[in-house]
Amino acid sequence: MPGQERGPDAHRDRRDRADRARCRYRTGRGRSRMGGPLHDAAADGDAGHHPRGAPVKTVVIVGAGQAGSELAVALRQNGFSDRILLVGAEPHLPYQRPPLSKAFLHGKVDQVALRIRALDTYTNAGIEIELDTAAVGIDRRTRSVALADGRTLRYDKLALTTGGSPRPLRFGSGHVAGRTLHHLDDAIALRQELQSGGTLLIVGGGFIGLETAAAATAMGIAVTLVEAQPRVLARTCPPAISAFVEREHRHHGVDLRTGVSVRNVVRRDGALLAELSDDTVVRAGLILTGVGIAPNDTLATTAGLAVDDGVLVDAVAGTEDPDIVAAGDCTRQWNGFLGRSVRLESVQNATDQARTAARTLCGKPTERFTAPWFWSDQYHHKLQMAGLPQTGDTAVVRGDPSSNSFSVVYLRKGIITGLHAVNRPRDFMAARPLVTARAAMTGDEAASEDLPLSELMKRHQSTAERRA
């Protein structure tokens, strides 16, 4: 409840509001509260007179999330000394999203702890920030960005780091929509409701749904989770991992149902009644949906940039427009490591791609060849994943899946392509460089717990040195 949200966090909330005030520009022409000039392109005449190839004086970054924050700081680290303007639609300083469905939801961390960087980091680097400011259009001819409040920002180079949004899900007649958990305000509202107790129906057995189920259960909430696929994490994990996760959630009291979907939802007597595809009915006080993320690529589409389930970028984060780069969850990138175009949703990818984009903007484009990696915390268990195994790869189990510690190694033609680890950080840390190096590995080696993966890495390095 709102009253419960105040108390010990009240001073932090006031500090958060004060910091936001320091970041935001005043309306109209003038100077920002951070001391930077408020640029109004309309007052400066035609922004299109700036010739291509001229020195870059202003970089505008649209999207103040993980990628946007990283890109702004990386520009400074790569020697860019002119104006950087970071524009974000949310009223908060750039923050970490992964804890929203974990530690933040059940109160282990507060809003200030979520921040990717303190405000002073931006101010000391001379990075201007516009929060609570939505970009609504891009004019590539005049190199300008239109804002929702009617202002226009001119750029020499533009970076799109607009992230993604939860795919909407409405039930039956469409009058009832499930809540989503993606933004800080979503998490604040959900936490307030869960603190009052009750029942929660989660639709979707992906990481967001499962992490939220674990956090809500720890808060004493009765949770039902439904997944339309035959098993949870069916698109991302092997059956052994899915079986372990399902077992743990049921052990902690989650009513987990697979192979069923929600047919319709109606409101009755102050509750939500969900009719499932197996003709059963679930009564819940709240419904949360977690059925995937869609890239926020509307700005790119309306600007005429190439889009295909994400803004299309090359291996150095460049779009078809030489003055525009893009990074993070909003992109579909050519991945040199994987050898194909892919859209990745992870902190690691957003960070790496943002750094790549910064180097490109600074005139020193450099491709990165690193295996993607991900993680998930559920109850006291940590799931860690390296690489992106494909259909047809051989899955080799390392350890006992009935225990709380095992890994699944993926092989293709004698080469390791990925690893999923349950409570095995050593396997995960050793696998990351092995996957990146495309190291040779047999099925027996992958399965043998007597042979640490770190030893295989040493062998690979020794072989590479001899060949060199």
The pLDDT value recorded for residue 382 is: 97
Sheet holding 271-276: strands in order across?
A: 262-268, 271-276, 281-284
CA torsion 310-312-314-317 (nearest 10°) is -60
Burial 88-99 (b: 16+ CB within 10 A, else e): bbbebbbbbbbb
- State the sign of the Cα–Cα–Cα–Cα dihedral 173, 174, 179, 180: positive
pLDDT value at 92 more than 60: yes
pLDDT value at 427 more than 50: yes
**DSSP collapsed to 3 states, 363-415:** CCCCCCCCCCEEEEEECCEEEEEEECCCCCCEEEEEECCCCCCEEEEEEECCE
Query: Could you give the residue ranges of the DSSP H alpha helices within 272-346?
Result: 298-302
The pLDDT value recorded for residue 55 is: 78
Q: How far apart are CA 166 and CA 183, in angstroms?
A: 10
Are 329 and 295 a contacting pair, CB within 8 Å? yes
Are 408 and 241 a contacting pair, CB within 8 Å? yes
Nearest residue to 155 (alpha-carbon basis) of 179, 173, 137, 178: 137
The pLDDT value recorded for residue 270 is: 84
pLDDT digits (tens, 9 = 90+) for 151-183: 999 999 999 999 999 998 877 665 567 899 999
| 54 vs 36: which has the higher pLDDT | 54
What are the distances in angstroms from CA 106 to CA 40, 212, 454? 43, 9, 36
pLDDT digits (tens, 9 = 90+) for 113-144: 999 999 999 999 999 999 999 999 999 999 99
pLDDT value at 5 more than 70: no
Amino acid at 14: R
Mean pLDDT value across the chain:
88
What are the distances in angstroms from CA 207 to CA 116, 143, 232, 290, 369? 21, 39, 9, 8, 26
Nearest residue to 160 (alpha-carbon basis) of 357, 400, 24, 423: 357
Contacts of 72-77 with CB under 8 Å at 24 or more apart are 72/122, 72/125, 72/127, 73/117, 73/121, 73/125, 73/127, 74/354, 74/355, 74/357, 74/358, 74/359, 75/358, 75/361, 75/362, 76/125, 76/126, 76/127, 77/358
pLDDT value at 387 more than 50: yes
DSSP, res 90? S
Q: How far apart are CA 11 and CA 290, in angstroms?
A: 32
Q: Which residues on neighbouring strands pair with residue 158, listed in sequence order?
A: 60, 324
The pLDDT value recorded for residue 4 is: 34
pLDDT value at 285 more than 50: yes
The pLDDT value recorded for residue 175 is: 58
| Confidence at 368, pLDDT banded by 50, 70, 90 | confident
| Confidence at 355, pLDDT banded by 50, 70, 90 | very high
With a threshold of 0.85, does the pTM exceed it?
yes
Please state the rounded mean pLDDT for residues 350-369.
94
Domains annotated for the chain, with CATH where assigned, are 2-165+294-361 (3.50.50.60), 170-291 (3.50.50.60), 380-467 (3.30.390.30)
The pLDDT value recorded for residue 29 is: 28
Q: How far apart are CA 82 and CA 72, in angstroms?
A: 11
Are 133 and 89 a contacting pair, CB within 8 Å? yes
Please state the rounded mean pLDDT for residues 12-33.
38
- State the sign of the Cα–Cα–Cα–Cα dihedral 342, 347, 349, 350: positive
pLDDT digits (tens, 9 = 90+) for 224-258: 999 999 999 999 999 999 999 999 999 999 999 99
Q: How far apart are CA 257 and CA 225, in angstroms?
A: 6
The pLDDT value recorded for residue 39 is: 34
pLDDT value at 34 more than 50: no
| 381 vs 267: which has the higher pLDDT | 381
Nearest residue to 64 (alpha-carbon basis) of 7, 104, 26, 24: 24
